[in-house]
Structure 1
Amino acid sequence: MTASLRPALVDGLQPLADRYDLVLCDVWGVLHNGIKAYETASEALTRFRERGGRVVLVSNAPRPGASVGTQLDGFGVPRTAYDAIVTSGDLTRLAIEERVDKVVHHIGPARDMPIYDGLNIRFGSIAEAEYVVCSGFENDELETVEDYRPRLEAMLKRELWMVCANPDLIVERGNTIVPCAGALGVAYEEMGGDVYYAGKPHAPIYDRAIAVAAALNGRPIAKERVLAIGDAIRTDIAGAAGFGIDSLLIARGIHAEELKAHHGPLVSEHVQDWVDLQPVKPQAITGVLSWAA
């Protein structure tokens, strides 16, 4: 990759704002860290909307968008920062609705059960189930993929289809990295299992997010006027590249250790060197999401 093709290092969203009508923004790692909100991120998105842009939050949270909105309220993320929320939980629920007459085996914590709210669902063991919904680890602070290996083997023996409600492999919770449902999805797929990933980096969640924004605008939005913002190469940046839209990488997120981006919003040339080694590249990089440095 030549220097001319390298991503631009930008001081916030402002230098890019005029190029785009719609921002598809990641949530965890960009707007908050699982414990507290990042005020500068909310301010940047609010400023973008005040200029006439739309913001749709696109999250791999395995819960419906309304549930995520309530969580964001608790963190202190203002509603002025976004127009709508689309989650992998929303797409998971659609998959469940299409199979409402089938027995499901759920893997994940109780906090993710809102994806079933209002549906007459029959839950069962692996031996009884017709498919599996995996929303995460039951205890992501203690468990590893290996703890689930016997369950995955039992699922594979019955050739059960898995809906992975959160394709993320890991997420940052405060200063701790914890595993997500995507780690179990990848493990099951590597064993030969059939997995449907409901969120980023896969196209359906982008189709839905852009459709939501277009409905709000009352007109279609061209892909070249869409910017994805996120902190994960594998999901946010790869998803944007695969869908054909531009992206802005937040350096001080889950890759902060690799990028040596722990201190302050500015990023260094080391970030460029790291990005050179990645299979996909963003169009721009900033330290943390802000309007301007």
Structure 2
Amino acid sequence: MTRLIQSLSDISTNYDALFVDLWGCVHNGIEAFPEAVKALQDYRKAGGIVILVTNSPRPWRSVATQMLGFGVPEDAYDAIATSGDSARTAMHMGAVGEKVFHIGTPEEVEVFFAPSDILTDAIDVTTVPLEEAEGIVCTGARATDGSLDIYRPEFLYAKQKGLKLLCANPDIVVDRGETREWCAGALAQLYTEMGGESLYFGKPHPPIYDLARRHLVKIAHIDDAKILCIGDGIGTDVKGAIGEGLDVLFITGGLAADEFGPDHVNPDPERLTSWLIEQQMAPAAAISFLR
């Protein structure tokens, strides 16, 4: 039975470290949630460790800079594990070849395809037209709304060539303020449905949790039983944490907020219980918003 709590402090003393999702939990893609920031700051002041675990396709330094712009200060966390860092490492190891077709925005090219600062033997990866590509790297949708059917012709061609698609962000959608946007995960899902092969490195898949644990062990050796994951994505944050054998605090006021009644601050317990049963997920606890 998932326990509905009112504050992180209701359960935080049971854990020595937090793996915290960002978008929908700490910020909304535009600005920080002040109560969430304070909750993390208070947890750290009490001796806890906070590792931010995000499906952002950006390297962690870029995410840190972005968060400062949103109003998330550096004293709210200890380290950042990103899907982008996991995926970039695999890319620079040749997971989809040296010549790749990129799907995403032009701004993402400079960040994602920058030289690796993790590997000493990284290969040089260049972006090329689809006809010349050995694989695909998807950092996001070119346009964040509209139908994904525009990608079908490219995906059909890529599938016939046997190209693998490296997905830098397994999220399907995110909410930027009040606007819902497609993420790379939606394109990877479509490619897989069409018969192509997609490679994932963010939540709910193991590589990003391995990266988060690597960050954590640099600070302290913490048993899994003392780690609490926090997130609003049932198919990413919750599924991933449970798959790793970790407890998870589900944020009901995020992506699935409308499932639990019109009052997002006070989710209906019966609706929450029924919905979690339908999802076949059992987080340790739930809270409307991180605070």
Give TM-score scaled by structure 2 length.
Answer: 0.93
Question: Could you tell me how far apart the structure 2 residues matched to 1:76 and 1:271 are?
Answer: 31
Which amino acid in 1 is paired with 2:135? Answer: Y
Determine helix, strand or coil for the equivalent of 1:163: strand
Partner of 2:195: 192
The whole-number CA distance in structure 2 between the counterparts of 1:230 and 1:191 is 29
Gaps of 5+ in 2: 117-123
Q: Does 1:225 align with 2:223?
A: no
Pair 1:237–1:42, CA change in 2 (3 A) = same
8 A contact 1:49–1:82 mirrored in 2: yes
| Equivalence map 1:242-257=2 (5 Å) | 242-257=243-258
| Contact preservation (8 Å) 1:8, 1:284 | yes
Could you tell me which residue of structure 1 aligns to residue 138 of structure 2?
134
Are 1:9 and 2:12 counterparts? no
- Other-structure match for 1:276: 277
Q: Deviations for 1:90-137, whole angstroms, at most 9, x for unmatched residues?
A: 011101211297101110012322011136432111111111110110
SS of the residue corresponding to residue 177 of structure 1 reads strand
How far apart are the structure 1 equivalents of 2:49 and 2:213? 10
Secondary structure of the 1:127 match is helix
Alignment partner of 1:24: what SS? Answer: strand
Name the structure 2 match of 1:267. 267
Runs of 4+ in 1 over 4 A off after TM superposition: none
Verify the 8 A CA contact 2:18 2:50 in the aligned structure 1. yes
Give the drift of 1:163: 0.5
Kindly state the Cα deviation for residue 260 of structure 1 after the two structures are TM-superposed: 2.1
Q: 2:166 aligns with which of 146, 163, 182?
A: 163
Bigger shift: residues 114-123 or 84-93: 114-123
* DSSP-derived class of the 1:277 partner: helix
SS of alignment partner, residue 40 of structure 1: helix
**1:83 maps to 2:99:** no
| Count of paired positions | 281
**Equivalent residue of 1:178, what SS?**
strand
CA distance 1:180–1:256, shift in 2 (3 Å):
same
The superposition leaves residues 136-177 of structure 1 with CA deviations (integer Å, 9 ceiling, x where unpaired) of 101103x42101111111110110011000100111111121
| Structure 2 match to 1:181 | 184
| TM-score in terms of structure 1 length | 0.93
Does residue 1:117 correspond to 2:121, yes or no? Answer: no
Residue 121 of structure 2 aligns with which residue? none
Shift of 1:262: 4.5
- Deviation, 1:261, is 5.6
- Report % sequence identity: 40
Long gaps (5+) in structure 1: 1-5
Amino acid at match of 2:148: V
Tell me the equivalent position of 2:103.
Answer: 107
Tell me how large the CA RMSD over aligned residues is.
Answer: 1.4
Q: Match for residue 120 of structure 2?
A: none
Q: Give the conservation status (yes or no) of the 8 Å contact 1:9–1:267.
A: no
Q: Is the 8 A contact 2:167 2:198 kept in 1?
A: yes
